[in-house]
Amino acid sequence: MIPFYKHNLNNKKNYLKQTLNSSYLTSGPVCERVEKLLCKKFNKKFSFLTNSWTNGLISILLSVKLKPTDEVIIPACTFVACANVVEMVGAKVILADIDEKTKLLDVKDCLKKITKNTKVIMPVHLYGNLFDTKNLKNKIRKNIIIIEDCAHSFCGEYNNKVMGTFADFAVFSFYATKSITCGEGGAIITNHKKYADIIRSVSNNGMTKPAFKRFVNNKYIPWDVYNFGFKANLSDINASILEDQVSSYSKIAILKKKLFKKYRYNLNNIKEVSLPSENKNKNRDYYLFPIGVDKKYRNKLIEHLLKNKIFVTVNFRSISELHYYKKKYKNTKCPRSEKWGKETISLPFHVKITEKEIKKVCEQIKSFFLKN
Ligand SMILES: *Cc1c(COP(=O)(O)O)cnc(C)c1O
């Protein structure tokens, strides 16, 4: 059996034990340490650990205070959470089509969809393939907020600049199958003090001080509620699993790059298989390994691989084709995204996969096309 994903966690250093022996289990000193690490790595003034990417994004959108007529542009081919968070705060989802080659947000279509109501654009570094945020930023009004979805890209670099450099906010996910994980979790990074203060309280039920900060030198600090809030903070238990991964991830990224190249090499001579093309001048992260095949073969190939105990999946379909969104936002057409959603398969790809397993996956794909 070749599993789709295997995590790379161990508890050799007893991080969890240390946290369990301390008195703060949530939003305490461990979270604070990891947030400092993130600020340093991404060269930002503020970072917030959240209990998911989804809740991190909702915290940002609440702090920006969107009105029902405000519009948020997202690429049509991405994880459905990108659209759900916009619905959640009662704003409008605007889907822009993807670029035929990179499968990332198509800048031309995005520019076409900007109106006076556009408040936020959310490019996604899908699969770890890097979107050129700087180029987009140069082409849009200054008061449009850019939020980079970095759920697939922790270590990516564009022109030697870390993730989030050209965005107002960047948000990471530490969900179970992501490159860095603590089961469920996420992080926001930003330089905006104005929003940062609101995000901190919004993510903690609108309160001005988390429990950990309410007693300083045995003095009680009064708290109040100025913003409507909900619950998005991360526990120290989760954060203690993250700490080591944040510092050591670049080693894993190098290994994943090697495995990615191995895959690409082994698929090279199968003409029925296409890969999203990578943007130049970028030192990307390698998160998923998607391939594209003609839609008439796609589901049959999935069946063939599953029969041979190779676990593959379809990660992203076009949001314009998902029932809820199709019904609510009628007449949204994103043909390139819809096409890719019907052609794509994600192959098993994780740090624990061996070169032999990669070869086997590719051989099974080859033998499928010899028979079909
Ligand atoms: C996983 C993922 C998310 C959501 O992350 P959660 O931490 O599960 O909320 C958002 N965007 C993309 C592209 C993802 O793959």
Same domain for 192 and 261, yes or no, is no
Domain membership of residue 231 (yes or no) is: yes
Domain membership of residue 6 (yes or no) is: no
Q: What is the spatial distance between Cα 234 and Cα 229, in angstroms, rounded to a whole number? A: 15
Give the relative orientation of helices 236-267 and 29-42 as an angle to the nearest 10 degrees.
Answer: 40
- Parallel, antiparallel or unpaired: strands 157-158 and 186-190: unpaired
Last residue of a domain, one of 184, 217, 247: 247
Distance linking the first and last C-alpha atoms of the chain? 23
Domain membership of residue 9 (yes or no) is: no
pLDDT at 180 over 90: yes
pLDDT at 216 over 70: no
Q: What number does the ligand 1 atom closest to the CA of 175 have?
A: 7
Contact call for residues 26 and 213 (beta carbons, < 8 A) = no
Same domain for 224 and 339, yes or no, is no
pLDDT at 33 over 90: yes
Query: Which residue pairs, CB below 8 angstroms and at least 24 apart, start in 159-165?
Result: 159/134, 159/281, 159/282, 160/283, 162/41, 162/42, 162/43, 163/42, 163/125, 164/42, 164/44, 164/189, 164/190, 165/42, 165/43, 165/133, 165/134
* 23 Cα–ligand 1 center, Å: 31
Q: What number does the ligand 1 atom closest to the CA of 177 have?
A: 1
Q: What is the spatial distance between Cα 346 and Cα 127, in angstroms, rounded to a whole number? A: 10
The pLDDT, as a whole number, for residue 217 is 74
Q: How many domains does the chain have?
A: 2
Same domain for 278 and 293, yes or no, is yes
Same domain for 221 and 276, yes or no, is no
Average pLDDT over residues 253-268: 95
- Contacts (Cβ under 8 Å, ≥6 apart) of 367: none
- In eight-state DSSP terms, residue 291 is E
Per DSSP, the residues of 187-248 read: EEEE--HHHHHHHHHHTBTTBSS-GGGSEETTEE----B-S---B-BPBHHHHHHHHHHHHH
Same domain for 253 and 322, yes or no, is yes
Q: Which range marks the domain in which residue 26 is found?
A: 17-247
pLDDT > 90: what percent of the chain? 86
Regarding the beta carbon of 188 and ligand 1, being less than 6 Å apart is answered: no
Give the relative orientation of helices 53-64 and 81-88 as an angle to the nearest 10 degrees.
Answer: 40
Regarding the beta carbon of 54 and ligand 1, being less than 6 Å apart is answered: yes
Same domain for 219 and 79, yes or no, is yes
pLDDT band of 272, cuts 50, 70, 90: very high
* 30 Cα–ligand 1 center, Å: 23
Same domain for 268 and 143, yes or no, is no
pLDDT at 204 over 70: yes
Instruction: Tell me the whole-structure pTM to 2 decimals.
Output: 0.96
